[in-house]
């Protein structure tokens, strides 16, 4: 296909795909790419032509793919997967390569289709880990056990093979269990009767003639789900006495409802206990616990240490709680407690305080002690739900509210939380749509020079106009974006729009001064920020001297070494740096000398009382003098009156921002204002 046709058809066919598509030349450089490459790299399509994987996906990816590229240029069609492990990241990529031949039949180019399968790999690893644990548990029990789908044995332990006359458990796989057993009463093969066994029902059988001699067995089954399909876990017990059979069935039920790590009820077993209490109309209090920042232990010390901590937590809770309490380990770092027939209205609250104190006591972890904390959500029955699912959901909601309020505390569920949770979920879903459909706008609030009040730069502010609800306050959707992980994508949208707009305004001589862009702590904490900004700078052609990045005090104070590296990298690219809301965060002056900052923004909280609180004037004057002594410009924000502006001007503030001069406005409205000022 001629290059012109390829450049026309390729984007039409591939641009809406979330996967990477590219055509590579014999030097492994891009001839044409789809839009996903542009999103990953921050470069325009034309800029990517002639580049290669090293520029976009990294050296490790290219070195892994290079042998496959050579094979594809030799005429092979390849589908495979590579795992990239550079000791920091563990990423897997599934790809296919196909040769493109010219009229002479020679391979002139190859087509690459690539998808990030890291999440799938994590899931596969987790499933393998769970499968290993189940296999280990299966081998520990003294009775035979099989997992049966339909009538076919999917897996079995060694004891089951022995009882059924097979040399190994592997030989049992694929066999039909119903053809290996006779019903003791009808003397007929069981066949599909195994699938009709209800939970807790036991049936007497005899083994098939494959065994050395027909052996009496008692079989029982429990319903399970296998890859979203119904299956049975079948227990085989040799020659049980009637009383012993009942006892063994109880052991079987216990295995199905117990967490093997802690010995507590698992989520299924805990839910069953909750359902029984509700069926008996037993008043109860439920506490839903989450160990705060537990992931840090697994990440830094390993899962084996994390497992030890979970076991100790369960032991501490068992020692603390009354005999009638029901305790469950629901998942990972989440536990739950049922307190039936509470003695008084504050039983749940008092028990929660005891639990928090218990978890706060140090844990001995691999040569040092660690203090942990926990967040607890509480619900009551009756009152906060009429079935187990709703009660667990509401308790979970209250627990997350405890985290939002600062962690290591108890929060009781209220219906308002459900409304808030539904609102937060709605906002997250709608914000995702807005990001996908270019539904966000960038507005600009001009700053003015404090000497003559002429426009001198602006601050970029993101706005969201929902198609039904209208404009939604940034105070509502920015926290949602931060919690849901959408803030980085949102920030990239803003940066791309601002860089493009600023370059245009500067080329036409419309705007003097710099335009400020806010960076969230999540954006600033991501090492990939520097590469993205650099690529965006090159692709848009913006002059970095025209852009200032604004950070909050909390963002720059979180990690000293990382902060200095990031700030220096941003400065090295030519951008300016500003501290927003100065004086309301950590208020530590030491970082002003250590960090390469260019600007201080005095928070509006200082400005609003400037006319009525004399000491406020002194404070502002000192901030201005401090900034100037460190060669930093000073901006006062939130200025709403002429008196405030005049006073700040007299105090030699550099710039002023506020409603007294200009409110935030859409790009086209500010552009009209700039044109008007330019004509004057």
For the segment 420-432, the average pLDDT, to the nearest whole number, is 79
Where in 102-143 does DSSP place strands (E)?
107-116
Cα 314 to Cα 323: distance, rounded to the nearest angstrom: 14
Which is nearest to 481 in space by CA: 464, 498, 496? 464
For the segment 476-501, the average pLDDT, to the nearest whole number, is 89
If DSSP codes are grouped into helix, strand and coil, which group holds residue 269?
A: helix
**Which residue intervals of the chain bear CATH 3.30.450.20?**
3-117, 141-241
pLDDT at 534 over 90: yes
Tell me which H or E stretch contains 666. strand 665-666
Which is nearest to 630 in space by CA: 598, 585, 587, 582? 598
DSSP annotation of 141: S
For the segment 395-416, the average pLDDT, to the nearest whole number, is 84
Q: What is the pLDDT of residues 572-589, one digit of tens each?
A: 999 999 988 776 655 556
Q: What is the pLDDT of residues 408-423, one digit of tens each?
A: 888 888 777 767 777 7
The residue ranking higher by pLDDT, 52 or 207, is 52
For the segment 366-391, the average pLDDT, to the nearest whole number, is 82
pLDDT at 643 over 50: yes
pLDDT at 116 over 80: no
Confidence at 636, pLDDT banded by 50, 70, 90? very high
pLDDT above 70 coverage of the chain, percent: 87
Confidence at 81, pLDDT banded by 50, 70, 90? confident
**In degrees to the nearest 10, what's the CA dihedral of 293, 295, 297, 300?**
-120
Dihedrals φ, ψ of 180, to 5°? -105, -5
The answer to whether 216 touches 206, Cβ cutoff 8 Å, is: yes
Among 205-214, 393-402, 468-477, where is mean pLDDT lowest?
205-214
pLDDT at 458 over 90: yes
Rg (CA), the chain: 33
Other CB atoms within 10 A of residue 2 CB: 7
Cα 408 to Cα 399: distance, rounded to the nearest angstrom: 10
Q: Does domain 431-678 have CATH number 3.20.20.450?
A: yes
DSSP annotation of 595: S
**Which residue intervals of the chain bear CATH 3.30.70.270?**
253-413
Other CB atoms within 10 A of residue 508 CB: 12
Confidence at 442, pLDDT banded by 50, 70, 90? very high
In the Cβ-directed half-sphere of 37, how many Cα atoms lie within 13 Å?
28
pLDDT at 249 over 70: no
pLDDT at 3: 65
Q: What is the pLDDT of residues 336-369, one digit of tens each?
A: 999 999 988 889 899 999 999 988 888 876 555 6
pLDDT at 325: 92
In the Cβ-directed half-sphere of 341, how many Cα atoms lie within 13 Å?
5
Other CB atoms within 10 A of residue 142 CB: 10
Tokens of 300: 């830094």
The distance of Cα 36 from the centroid of its chain, to the nearest Å, equals: 21
Helices assigned H by DSSP within 238-387: 242-257, 267-279, 295-301, 303-320, 347-360
| 457: region left, alpha or beta (phi > 0 left; psi from -120 to 50 alpha) | left
Q: End-to-end alpha-carbon separation of the chain, Å?
A: 56
Cα 554 to Cα 586: distance, rounded to the nearest angstrom: 7
- Max mean pLDDT range (389-403, 419-433, 614-628, 638-652): 638-652
pLDDT at 446: 95
Q: Burial of 599 by CB count in 10 Å (0-12 exposed, 13-18 middle, 19+ buried)?
A: buried
Cα 595 to Cα 123: distance, rounded to the nearest angstrom: 41
Confidence at 74, pLDDT banded by 50, 70, 90? very high
Dihedral angle sign, alpha carbons of residues 577, 583, 584, 589:
positive
Tokens of 294: 């537990």
CATH architecture type of domain 3-117: 2-Layer Sandwich (3.30)
pLDDT at 680: 57
Tokens of 259: 């967490």
Q: What are the residues whose beta carbons fall under 8 Å from the beta carbon of 218, sequence distance 6 or more?
A: 202, 203, 204, 205, 236, 237, 240, 245, 248
Confidence at 129, pLDDT banded by 50, 70, 90? low
CATH for 253-413? 3.30.70.270
The residue ranking higher by pLDDT, 55 or 649, is 649
Tell me which H or E stretch contains 143. none
The residue ranking higher by pLDDT, 328 or 213, is 328
Tokens of 440: 């966000």
Confidence at 89, pLDDT banded by 50, 70, 90? very low
**Which residue intervals of the chain bear CATH 3.20.20.450?**
431-678
For the segment 560-582, the average pLDDT, to the nearest whole number, is 87
The answer to whether 658 touches 674, Cβ cutoff 8 Å, is: no
Q: Counting every residue, how long is the chain?
A: 680
pLDDT at 495: 95
Tell me which H or E stretch contains 7. helix 3-14
Angle formed at CA 248 by CA 245 and CA 253, multiple of 5 degrees: 125
Confidence at 513, pLDDT banded by 50, 70, 90? very high
Confidence at 244, pLDDT banded by 50, 70, 90? very low
Between 528-540 and 560-572, two packed helices, what is the crossing angle to 10 degrees? 10
Cα 588 to Cα 680: distance, rounded to the nearest angstrom: 44
pLDDT at 546 over 90: yes
Confidence at 212, pLDDT banded by 50, 70, 90? low
The answer to whether 181 touches 205, Cβ cutoff 8 Å, is: yes
The residue ranking higher by pLDDT, 21 or 58, is 21
Among 305-309, 444-448, 472-476, where is mean pLDDT lowest?
305-309
pLDDT at 160: 85
pLDDT at 501 over 90: yes
Residue-averaged pLDDT of the chain: 83
pLDDT at 666: 94
Tell me the fold of 141-241.
Beta-Lactamase (3.30.450)
Q: What is the pLDDT of residues 653-673, one digit of tens each?
A: 999 999 999 999 999 999 999
């Amino acid at each position: 296909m001629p290059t012109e046709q390829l450049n026309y058809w390729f984007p039409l066919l591939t641009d809406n795909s979330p996967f990477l598509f590219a055509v590579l030349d014999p030097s492994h450089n891009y001839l044409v790419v789809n839009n996903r490459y542009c999103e990953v790299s921050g470069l325009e399509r034309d800029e990517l032509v002639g580049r290669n994987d090293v520029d976009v996906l990294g050296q490790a990816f290219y070195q892994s793919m290079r042998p496959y590229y050579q094979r594809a240029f030799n005429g092979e069609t390849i589908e495979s997967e590579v795992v990239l492990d550079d000791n920091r990241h563990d990423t897997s990529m599934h790809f296919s390569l196909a040769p493109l031949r010219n009229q002479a039949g020679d391979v002139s180019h190859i087509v690459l289709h690539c998808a990030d399968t890291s999440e799938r790999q994590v899931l596969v690893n987790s499933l393998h880990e769970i499968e290993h644990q189940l296999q280990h548990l299966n081998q520990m029990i003294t009775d035979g056990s099989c997992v049966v789908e339909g009538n076919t044995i999917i897996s079995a332990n060694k004891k089951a093979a022995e009882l059924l006359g097979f040399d190994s458990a592997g030989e049992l796989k694929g066999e039909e269990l119903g053809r290996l057993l006779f019903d003791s009463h009808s003397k007929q093969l069981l066949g599909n009767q195994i699938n009709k066994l209800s939970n807790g029902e036991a049936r007497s059988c005899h083994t098939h003639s494959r065994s050395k001699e027909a052996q009496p067995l008692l079989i029982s089954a429990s319903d399970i789900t296998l890859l979203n399909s119904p299956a049975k876990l079948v227990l085989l017990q040799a020659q049980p006495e009637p009383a012993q059979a009942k006892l063994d069935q109880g052991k079987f039920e216990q295995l199905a409802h117990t967490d093997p790590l802690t010995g507590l009820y698992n989520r299924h077993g805990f839910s069953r206990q909750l359902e029984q209490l509700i069926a008996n109309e037993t008043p109860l209090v439920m506490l839903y616990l989450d160990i705060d920042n537990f992931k840090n232990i697994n990440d830094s010390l390993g899962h084996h240490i994390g497992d030890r901590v979970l076991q100790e937590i369960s032991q501490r809770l068992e020692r603390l709680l009354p005999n009638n309490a029901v305790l469950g380990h629901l998942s990972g770092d989440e536990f739950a407690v049922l307190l039936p027939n509470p003695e008084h209205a504050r039983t749940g609250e008092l028990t929660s305080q005891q639990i928090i104190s218990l978890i706060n006591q140090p844990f001995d972890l691999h040569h040092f002690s660690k203090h942990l904390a926990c967040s607890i959500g509480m619900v009551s029955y009756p009152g906060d739900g009429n079935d187990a699912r709703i009660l667990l959901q509401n308790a979970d909601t209250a627990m997350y509210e405890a985290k939002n309020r600062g962690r290591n505390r108890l929060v009781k569920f209220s219906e308002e939380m459900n409304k808030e949770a539904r609102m937060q979920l709605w906002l997250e879903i709608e914000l995702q749509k807005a990001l996908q459909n270019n539904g966000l706008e960038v507005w600009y609030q001009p700053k003015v020079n404090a000497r003559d009040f002429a426009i001198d730069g602006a601050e970029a502010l993101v706005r969201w106009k929902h198609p039904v609800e209208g404009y939604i306050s940034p105070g509502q959707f920015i926290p949602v974006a931060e919690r849901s992980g959408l803030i980085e994508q949102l920030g990239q949208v803003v940066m791309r729009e601002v860089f493009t707009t600023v370059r245009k305004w500067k080329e036409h001589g419309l705007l003097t001064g710099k335009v400020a862009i806010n960076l969230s702590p999540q954006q600033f904490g991501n090492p990939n920020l520097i590469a993205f900004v650099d690529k965006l700078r090159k692709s848009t052609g913006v002059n970095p001297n025209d852009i200032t990045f604004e950070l909050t005090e909390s963002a720059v104070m979180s990690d000293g070494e990382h902060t200095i590296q990031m700030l220096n990298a941003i400065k090295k690219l030519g951008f300016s740096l500003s501290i927003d809301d100065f004086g309301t965060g950590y208020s530590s002056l030491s970082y002003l000398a250590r960090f390469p900052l260019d600007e201080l923004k005095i928070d509006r909280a200082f400005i609003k009382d400037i006319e009525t609180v004399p000491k406020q004037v002194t404070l502002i004057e000192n901030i201005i003098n401090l900034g100037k002594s460190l060669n930093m410009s000073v901006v006062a924000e939130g200025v709403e009156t002429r008196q405030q502006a005049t006073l700040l001007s007299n105090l030699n503030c550099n710039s002023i921002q506020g409603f007294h001069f200009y409110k935030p406005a859409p790009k086209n409205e500010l552009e009209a204002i700039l044109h008007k000022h330019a004509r004057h």
